[in-house]
Structure 1
Amino acid sequence: MSDIPLAKNQPFTLRVQGMDCGGCERKVESALKRLRYVESVSASAVAGSVQLTAQDGDVLLRQEIESTITALGYRIIDETSAAHDAGEATPWWQSPKGRLVIVSGALLTLAWVLKFVWPDLGTWPFVAATVVGLVPIVQRAWQALRLGNPFTIEMLMSIAALGALAINAAAEAAVVVFLFAVGEMLEGVAAAQARRSISALSKLTPSTARLLEQGEAREVSAASLVPGQRVQVRPGDRLPCDGTIVDGRSHIDESPVNGESMPREREQGESVFAGTVNLDGVLEVEVTRSAENNTIARVIKLVEEAQAAKAPVARFIDRFAFFYMPAVVAVALLVAIVPPLVSSMLWSESIYRALALLLIACPCALVISTPAAIAAGLSVGARNGLLMKGGAVLEQLGKLKRVALDKTGTLTAGMPTVTDVEGLEADSSGADVLRLAAALEQGSSHPLAVAIGNYARHQGVQVPAVQAGHALSGQGVAGQVEGRELMLVSPRYLQRFAARPSGWDARIEALETQGKSLAVLLENEQPLGLIALRDEPREDARSGLQALERLGVSVVMLSGDNARTVAAIGEQLGIEAEGELMPEDKAQRVRQWQAQGLGPVGKVGDGINDAPALAAAEVGIAMGSGTDVALETADAALLKNRVRGIAEMISLSRATMRNVKTNVVLALGFKAFFLVSTALGITGMWVAVMADTGATVLVTLNALYLLRYRFNDIS
């Protein structure tokens, strides 16, 4: 038992082994809710966890909680064991439920052989097979009853099997117990598969790192790394931390984190993430986040929190199941008592039908139908860089009718790039202007200077050296390049240095109308040419917006940038755009649309100024490169930093809800059909067990099929 106290009024999570279905969840939740000071409980069979909030924080309460879970037949495990169980598949025949299937099946087979060889032997071999298989079931039923939960599948199974023995249906009782064991084993296998699929992220970060100290590398635990330390990452190694490259250049496979299929070249000064793979160069990386706060850890935490947050449809199913089981038990009592009193039906026949009805009463398939699909959808999203903080968010995403997007860093890359380079004199070409401007900007960290330098490098331009380079306060830069006195200034300061050439004003106005920033190159106060720069739309911006349009979602751009730039980008992308908005203005626009019935509304952004609108929208989506405030405020995050990811989230939400509806129809359809057929005496007890456990396994497998989802319908 743990001697660690609880955090008062703060949620905490316990890893629980052995929960495999919705019935398990309900048993655990029902028992824990009866404990003193326990305020809320949410059990997840798919995640293998129980999340609680307590009004008190003493050690004894935690021990009482753990004792209650253990008394129900489940086992508390630590994070290391949970990760091991998620990654290592235990063969079914080595599990307790698997061993019970083998023993029960062997005894049942032996009983049939003995009956065939010695017909006069009687039913005792079947009684023995029933009792051996029933013992662990009765134990779990008694434990749940002691903790105040009489309506469990184990209790119903125990009553049905013992009742069958009482009416001399020992052979059928043995078959029922065996089929129940098989069904539980299959549920365990399916749930374990779901947990492995969802928990695969925990194995992405390597356990060790090569820490650099005084130029020497030594191997240390990756969990021990702290911000400021430096690590060496060799080709083929996974990055052990989030960090910034301080030396080296390499292609990085980021698909484990964000699902991006093509490796990206990263160089000095750029950020890299834990769990990604260094492909072809030695890197020296400075740690920026500790192990418990790196990208992988944050993703895992978000997914775990998401699994605990039930969707509205899941909460409805839970409420329905709460009344469903007692209602079916009441119907079974009526079926047992009424027919012999009003007709010539034998008591043994009516009791048999009632016992069969009890086996259908457990709503396992119905209860697991929704969380299994939701968990699978969240897992697919996480694998593809789409993080959603709960089933409610996943459900709501598919209902969005309008999405508002920020401009800078969301629709655009968030950094300026060169769009135009023009020479104004006959002897001044664009290439010459670029070469001289890049020389003047050497060593500057200004975004425009960096953009000009990067563009020159990508164009293969040989940049000459600059002498006596210096900044012109608030105006630009100046210096000597190849013996020439040069300046690079903004057009608004141009009149201080040179007369404007013919047609100059019209050209500048045309470029600035397109939302571009300009830098003019001067020699001896005479213009040689100009360079235009703009924060350009992301490569996938247009296709991402088109994908949203195909899904029937309207798009509006809301930005704090100047109206001319916003209008130019909006026109280029073909969407409605509004600029010069303060943070509260963006939130107000969202609320106006909601009041006008244009919602549900989604808001996408990456900065602190987007936080109010993210909170106001039904679904707030943060770009993964955004600020921590935006990420914390948002309901979802796009790790890929791609506009197309918004459409992928909506598409995945709709696919998940279709899966949920299919599962509910399957579960209710099976129940309804076999309730009627059993009440009429058409199907017996063993068919009832197959219907119950079969439906549970079927809906779980259907949910797991969602793990293979591909985003083809938005192409």
Structure 2
Amino acid sequence: MDARIETTRFRVEGMDCASCATKVDTATRRVSGVEDVSVSVVNQSMTVKHTPDADLADIATRIGNLGYPTKPVRPSGSAGIDEVKGEPAVHMHGDHDDHDGPWWRSRKAILTGACAVALVAAYLLGRAVPGFGHWAFLVALLVGLVPIGRRAIAGALAGTPFSIETLMSIAAIGAVIIGATEEAATVVLLFLVGELLEGVAAGRARASIKGLADLVPKTALLADGDQIREVPAADLTVGQVVMVRPGDRIPADGEIVEGNSAIDEAPVTGESVPKSKGVGATVFAGTINTDNALRVRVTARASDNTIARVIALVEEAQESKAPTERFIDRFSKYYTPGVLLVGALVAVVPPLLFGQGWNEWVYKGLAILLIGCPCALVISTPAAIAAALSAGARRGLLLKGGAVLEQLRSVTMVAMDKTGTLTEGKPVVTDIVALARTDAKVLAMAAAIETGSSHPLALAIVNRAKADKAPIPPAFDLKAIPGKGVSGNVGGESVSLLSLEAATRETDIPADVQARIAAFNDEGKSVSVLLAGDTLVGVFAIRDEPRPDALAGLAALHDKGVFTVMLTGDNERTAKAIGSTLGMDVRAGLLPEDKQRIVKELQAQGHVVAKIGDGINDAPALAAADVGIAMGGGTDVALETADAAVLHGRVTDISDMIGLSKATMSNIWQNIALSLGLKAVFLVTTVIGVTGLWPAILADTGATVLVTANAMRLLAWKGSRGKA
């Protein structure tokens, strides 16, 4: 047999809780050739690793028999036909509803409505013709119970005998046997109402991710020479140029090649103030062009743009289980059979050993079966994690799974790279010392000979001139002086911008200027000296400055009791200058293996370490840390190695990520306490005869809905920026 392993993704409709996922998982694993299965309730999808000869049609049929219509799908952006049914395959991204149309047209809603109508009709018939009441309620019961019973049988044949459908079917049939037909029919209706409400609540989490996909417009205006034509945004290829009109959403990740406009990034980043962007600036799919028409060169296909990567990472994360979720899954495998045993003992022991009435204790045993339904318990963790992952993604916080989300709350030490993490990653002119000329004149002369250069220091000077609106005159005879600087002719005057060492060879530098330069060096700033002929006319201090929110981000971490340290490959003087500004410990001059070693040393001291970085040299340390977090705009290597990513490069987002973890775990424990607490209360009241079948199913349904609603509160999480 061919030993190659293939991967197929399936669309599985109607899954609303972890119990559903368990049944689907178990049934799939029993198919010959299936090697591994990963089920996502939130995405209503299943990923199956299998041998080439595995029968995919059999997988779809088996799961369909459980009540979850299933078919294979292809990834978004790929071509091809569904090989199993010969139908056009469907896109995964942005397709998260379990049916077409509103929830009240779903199969669950139709079945619930039919059962309700049958129950009302039975009640009216019973009042009109009392002799037919029992039979009318029996028919009403069968309307809802037959589909439930079929799913229970299919589940038992597929390897899940102790399902909620099994408990429900036993309880309903038992109630009929002891003459409680009217109550049994009502209980079945309440069960269906609970399932429907559960599905509606779960749909909110799916809608959150679907909302991300909907940010990207469906069409784009392709600039083809002088012609502008409308094309599907999904068909755009790298290198094509699109026109974006004012008010339009940008259809793809790209780079502005013509125009200048304010870009509203709030839909993607949560930033409330639009950013002014011009030629050469990067723009993201889904953001809004507010002012002027732009031409944008596409830099990523639809399947690779920022939104698509966010969705893919969130979907992947939601299929990965947290430790708490795995524990509850294992617990529920013993819990449900245990409930059946307890229910049987309650029904049988008092009549057999103590001469109690059979009807009374069988009734109580059936009520305990309903109380023991594990839905609320098993959904408590995945619902909260799914909502948290979705909320985080909307704020630009990507976490690769529930395990990462759970681990973050325990972080005690954050080790951060300097360049591109704590700082902007691009030098800026911090100080200008003008001698014998005005600041504007000195800046204009320097910008003139640096225009056209891609060197970071040159860009810093040109950008400062543009920001200060200093006129940049034309320069001639430009030439680079290797290891020294650059020179040219500006307004008939020979001008050169040199390193301090090169400048001292060309002219004398006064003592007071030398003192200023020494002070700049102590602050970790690079210095360039401007000469006109052989006359000193200006000094520029340049440094990669801390991000605007760096101090606030570090303060937020300290407020949570988290320690911080800077790990950088930069020289010690520059690193300590930035560290002093930010008030943090510094380890400088480090190679990649040094960063990894220090992370391990911190772990040996008992710290749970999160490593933050954005470059290839951070990858070993990111991998070694308990949680590796890549900063936005980082290298692909850093993003792949990391457990999480901060897309928008805000230092405050690190604290927010930890805060999201703590809020999620708090929500999970609330859910567990709520589900088990309600069951414990109704277990006692049922045994002592205070409550019966109706309150029992209401306890289960109510707990499930309450737990799901509580978890969905996390969808509204905004982080520190939402509190501002």
Flag whether TM exceeds 0.5 (same fold): yes
Partner of 1:540: 549
Between the aligned partners of 1:657 and 1:436, the Cα distance in structure 2 is 58
Displacement, 1:405? 0.7
* 1:233-283: CA deviation from partner (whole Å, max 9, x where unpaired): 111221111111111111111122222222111111111111111111211
Identity %: 53
Partner of 1:65: 59
1:215-226 alignment to 2 at 5 Å? Answer: 215-226=226-237
The ranges of structure 1 where at least 4 consecutive aligned residues each deviate by more than 6 angstroms after the TM superposition are: none
1:688-703 alignment to 2 at 5 Å? Answer: 688-703=696-711
Contact 2:261 2:293 in 1 (8 A): yes
Contact 1:87 1:196 in 2 (8 A): no
* 1:362-407: CA deviation from partner (whole Å, max 9, x where unpaired): 2111000100000110111011111111111111111110101111
Contact 1:23 1:362 in 2 (8 A): no
Q: Which amino acid aligns with 2:666?
A: R
- Alignment match of 1:619 (pick from 624, 627, 638): 627
With structure 1 as the length reference, what TM-score do the two structures score?
Answer: 0.95
Residue 668 to residue 711, structure 1, CA distance change in 2 (3 Å): same
Establish whether residue 513 from structure 1 lines up as the match of residue 522 from structure 2: yes
Q: Which amino acid aligns with 1:184?
A: E
- Alignment match of 2:138 (pick from 119, 127, 135): 127
Partner of 2:19: 23
Residue 89 to residue 263, structure 1, CA distance change in 2 (3 Å): farther
1:503-582 alignment to 2 at 5 Å? Answer: 503-582=512-591
Establish whether residue 275 from structure 1 lines up as the match of residue 286 from structure 2: yes
Displacement, 1:12? 4.4
Displacement, 1:669? 0.7
The alignment partner of 2:511 has SS state of coil
- Alignment match of 2:455 (pick from 446, 456, 463): 446
Displacement, 1:345? 1.1
Establish whether residue 411 from structure 1 lines up as the match of residue 411 from structure 2: no
Partner of 1:214: 225
Moved more, 41-50 or 605-614: 41-50
Contact 1:648 1:714 in 2 (8 A): no
* 1:146-201: CA deviation from partner (whole Å, max 9, x where unpaired): 21221111111111111111111111111111111111111111111221123211
* 1:50-90: CA deviation from partner (whole Å, max 9, x where unpaired): 23333x133x4322222221121211255448735549984
Between the aligned partners of 2:274 and 2:598, the Cα distance in structure 1 is 39
Establish whether residue 161 from structure 1 lines up as the match of residue 161 from structure 2: no
Contact 1:551 1:714 in 2 (8 A): no
Between the aligned partners of 2:209 and 2:303, the Cα distance in structure 1 is 19
* 1:433-465: CA deviation from partner (whole Å, max 9, x where unpaired): 212211221222211111111111111212222
Between the aligned partners of 2:93 and 2:481, the Cα distance in structure 1 is 61
Contact 2:205 2:712 in 1 (8 A): yes
Between the aligned partners of 2:421 and 2:659, the Cα distance in structure 1 is 19
Q: Which amino acid aligns with 1:245?
A: I
Establish whether residue 114 from structure 1 lines up as the match of residue 145 from structure 2: no
1:417-496 alignment to 2 at 5 Å? Answer: 417-424=428-435, 427-496=436-505
Partner of 2:662: 654
Displacement, 1:524? 2.3
The alignment partner of 1:522 has SS state of strand
Partner of 2:79: none
Residue 466 to residue 92, structure 1, CA distance change in 2 (3 Å): closer
The alignment partner of 1:18 has SS state of coil
- Alignment match of 2:673 (pick from 665, 668, 678): 665
Contact 1:250 1:279 in 2 (8 A): yes
* 1:5-62: CA deviation from partner (whole Å, max 9, x where unpaired): x9954654322111112221121122122223323323232221223333x133x432
Contact 1:410 1:605 in 2 (8 A): yes
Contact 2:631 2:647 in 1 (8 A): yes
Moved more, 550-559 or 344-353: 344-353
Contact 1:603 1:614 in 2 (8 A): yes
Displacement, 1:471? 1.7
Residue 82 to residue 604, structure 1, CA distance change in 2 (3 Å): closer
The alignment partner of 2:680 has SS state of helix
Contact 1:44 1:308 in 2 (8 A): yes
- Alignment match of 1:238 (pick from 223, 234, 249): 249
Q: Which amino acid aligns with 2:52?
A: G
Between the aligned partners of 1:547 and 1:87, the Cα distance in structure 2 is 40
The alignment partner of 2:719 has SS state of coil
Contact 2:99 2:106 in 1 (8 A): no
Between the aligned partners of 2:234 and 2:214, the Cα distance in structure 1 is 13
Partner of 2:297: 286
Between the aligned partners of 1:76 and 1:613, the Cα distance in structure 2 is 42
Between the aligned partners of 1:281 and 1:525, the Cα distance in structure 2 is 46
Contact 1:86 1:200 in 2 (8 A): no
Residue 82 to residue 546, structure 1, CA distance change in 2 (3 Å): closer
Q: Which amino acid aligns with 1:543?
A: A
Establish whether residue 178 from structure 1 lines up as the match of residue 173 from structure 2: no
Partner of 1:49: 45
Partner of 1:587: 596
Contact 2:209 2:311 in 1 (8 A): no
Establish whether residue 394 from structure 1 lines up as the match of residue 405 from structure 2: yes
Q: Which amino acid aligns with 1:43?
A: V
**Structure 1, gaps ≥5 residues long:** 1-5
Contact 1:490 1:518 in 2 (8 A): yes
Between the aligned partners of 2:616 and 2:95, the Cα distance in structure 1 is 39
- Alignment match of 1:341 (pick from 352, 364, 372): 352
Between the aligned partners of 2:13 and 2:678, the Cα distance in structure 1 is 28
Displacement, 1:594? 0.2
Moved more, 356-365 or 633-642: 356-365
Between the aligned partners of 1:299 and 1:84, the Cα distance in structure 2 is 15
Contact 1:15 1:82 in 2 (8 A): no
Between the aligned partners of 2:93 and 2:605, the Cα distance in structure 1 is 48
Moved more, 167-176 or 211-220: 211-220
- Alignment match of 1:250 (pick from 241, 261, 279): 261
Partner of 2:87: none
Partner of 1:38: 34
Displacement, 1:581? 0.4
Displacement, 1:304? 0.1
Contact 2:592 2:621 in 1 (8 A): yes
Residue 236 to residue 305, structure 1, CA distance change in 2 (3 Å): same
The alignment partner of 1:323 has SS state of helix
Contact 1:198 1:375 in 2 (8 A): no
Between the aligned partners of 2:129 and 2:23, the Cα distance in structure 1 is 43
The alignment partner of 2:159 has SS state of coil
Q: Which amino acid aligns with 2:707?
A: V
Between the aligned partners of 1:428 and 1:18, the Cα distance in structure 2 is 74
Q: Which amino acid aligns with 1:359?
A: L
* 1:277-304: CA deviation from partner (whole Å, max 9, x where unpaired): 1111211111111111111111110000
Residue 75 to residue 120, structure 1, CA distance change in 2 (3 Å): closer
The alignment partner of 2:297 has SS state of strand
Between the aligned partners of 2:241 and 2:100, the Cα distance in structure 1 is 36
Establish whether residue 203 from structure 1 lines up as the match of residue 214 from structure 2: yes
Partner of 1:3: none
Displacement, 1:670? 1.4
**Structure 2, gaps ≥5 residues long:** 74-89
Between the aligned partners of 1:87 and 1:280, the Cα distance in structure 2 is 39
- Alignment match of 2:646 (pick from 624, 638, 649): 638
Between the aligned partners of 1:437 and 1:91, the Cα distance in structure 2 is 64
